[in-house]
Structure 1
Amino acid sequence: MNTDAIDLSIIAPAFAAGLLVLATHVPLGAQVLKRGIVFIDLAIAQIAALGVIVAGFAGIEQGWPVQLAAGAAAVLGAFLLTWTEQRWPDVQEAQIGALFVLAATGGLLLLAHNPHGGEHLRDLLAGQILWVRYEQLGVPLIATIVIAAAIFLCKDRLGRLAFYLLFALAVTVSVQLVGVYLVFASLIVPALGVRNHPERRRLPLAYAIGMAGYALGLLLSMVFDLPSGALVVWCLALLAVAAHALGPARPAP
């Protein structure tokens, strides 16, 4: 353990990136559980990552064109999932899983002959949150404010297509900041931890789990020199388990 390794100039922007992700993903997580489409986040995040890979394959590796490629891929995925839910609603979860596998394996195929493909894929999945800097957060901040405002103003009035499009845009903003794994964990894990609590307490408690999980995970990753994204996921999960265990018992069916 090395407490001297803690550098707030590194942790602070990483934590700010985590807060941006949580701002939209915590309320969207409640919607995902309510709609019973838990794996949509993994699918859309993987599709956005595939858009980044396609952009790199075309020689575009940084700047707004990469964001545009990721966003376009995610929006196309949202339209596709809207169409599949209209046509075959009884197997939507299976279709989401199939789309995730296709996007993931598509990325593997595109990176098969890239000498740095393994490293690039790992960065997209696990993220490089500790390398985030404040100057990277300007556009995500604006996008997060707009998306969060739409989520909270519309709440349960979001139709199928509007929900999928907001979801796609939120994931596009977050996947390049924190990676696919943290995007999924930020969406699902806090929502799972608070599902038995009174409804008025769920959202504040879910945000508390998210903020504490990011803060603790980032600090521990520097102290123990462990991968930050993976450690934040575990901290989120442990805090969610604690919140669930300390909450009220689920009523018997």
Structure 2
Amino acid sequence: MNTESLDLMIILPALLAGLLVLLTHVPLGAQVLKRGIVFIDLAIAQIAALGVIIAGAAELDPQSWAVQAAAAAAAVLGALLLTWTEKRWPEVQEAQIGVMFILAATAGLLLVAHNPHGGEHLQDLLAGQILWVRYEQLLLPAVGTALICGLLYFLRDRLSRLGFYLIFALAVTASVQLVGVYLVFTSLIVPGLAVRHYVGKKRLVLAYLIGAAGYASGLVLSTLYDLPSGALIVWCLTVLAMGVYALGPKPDGAQRVANH
């Protein structure tokens, strides 16, 4: 362990990026679990990443608005397609989401096959480079986060299927480029799984606390031990979630079994 390598000024922008992601992904993740379409986040995130890869193949500046637009366009098209498939074949929607994920993932592999830096680019999109996020990269995601949080607050249960998919696509677009596909999935699903038996406002508060503590501890440990930040955050967040779930209320069936 190298305590001299712990620089809070390096960690701070990365932590802010994680908190921005959590602001939208925790409530969206609750909706994903409620709707029973758990792998939609992986599919949309992978489609957004495919948009970034396509923009890269066109030799666009990675930090330009054009790349953001390409990722958003790809994610929105994926959301529209998923809306249509859910109307047409609702009984196999989860399977269709899985097919879309694998098609987007393999399309990305094909597009970077002849790029000498293609493997590194794919790794960055999957695992993310959260530790190297800069403050200036947070401006656009912060504006998008504020808009999405506003929509989620005012629409609440009145959100249509199409509206949900579109909002989800836009939220994931920004977060994939900040933290990577793995952390997008973890931020959406793991806190919601941990607090699913809690009730009232405590559920949302605990989900946010799990996410924030997972990002903070993962960033600190990755800096101290020189380990990949994204992967370590996934593990820290998951271990914390398991602890919160274990200490929390039991489902009705489990409670009855415990009483006997």
TM-score, structure 1 normalization: 0.99
Match of 1:4 in 2: 4
In structure 2, C-alpha distance between the alignment counterparts of 1:21 and 1:248, rounded to whole Å: 27
RMSD over aligned CA atoms reads 0.8
2:225 and 2:131 map into 1 onto residues whose CA distance is 14
What is aligned with 2:179? 178
2:23: which partner in 1?
A: 23
Deviations 1:120-151 (A, max 9, x none): 00000000000101011111100100001101
Indicate the residue corresponding to 2:210 in structure 1: 209
Structure 1 residue 48 and structure 2 residue 35: aligned?
no
Q: Distance in 1 between matches of 2:246 and 2:199?
A: 14
| 1:252 CA displacement | 1.1
User: For the residues of structure 2 that align with 1:182 and 1:61, how far apart are their CA atoms?
Assistant: 24
Q: 1:176-216 CA deviation, whole Å, 9 max, x = no partner?
A: 00000000100000000000111331110000000000000
- Which residue is 1:189 aligned to? 190
Unmatched segments (≥5 aa) in structure 2: 255-260
Matches within 5 A, 1:64-143: 64-143=65-144
Identity over aligned pairs, percent: 70
| SS of residue paired to 1:137 | helix
Q: Which amino acid aligns with 1:217?
A: G
Give 1:2 shift: 1.0
Amino acid at match of 1:75: V
SS class of match (2:252): coil
Residue identity in the other structure for 1:19: L
Could you list the runs of 5+ residues in structure 1 that have no partner in the other structure? Answer: none
Aligned partners of 2:123, 2:61: CA distance in 1, in Å?
16
Deviation at 1:69, TM superposition (A): 0.2
Q: TM-score, normalised by structure 2?
A: 0.96
The secondary structure found in structure 2 opposite 1:196 is coil
Number of aligned residue pairs: give it.
Answer: 253
What CA deviation, in whole Å up to 9, does each residue of 1:59-97 have, x standing for no partner?
A: 113211000000000000000000000000000000000
Equivalent residue, structure 1, for 2:252: 251
Paired with 2:46 and 2:149, the residues of 1 have a C-alpha distance of 22
What is the CA–CA distance in structure 1 between the aligned matches of 2:240 and 2:181, rounded to whole Å? 20
1:48 partner letter: A
Q: What CA deviation, in whole Å up to 9, does each residue of 1:40-69 have, x standing for no partner?
A: 000000000000000011111321100000
What secondary structure sits across from 1:252 in the alignment? helix
Runs of 4+ residues over 3 Å off in structure 1: none
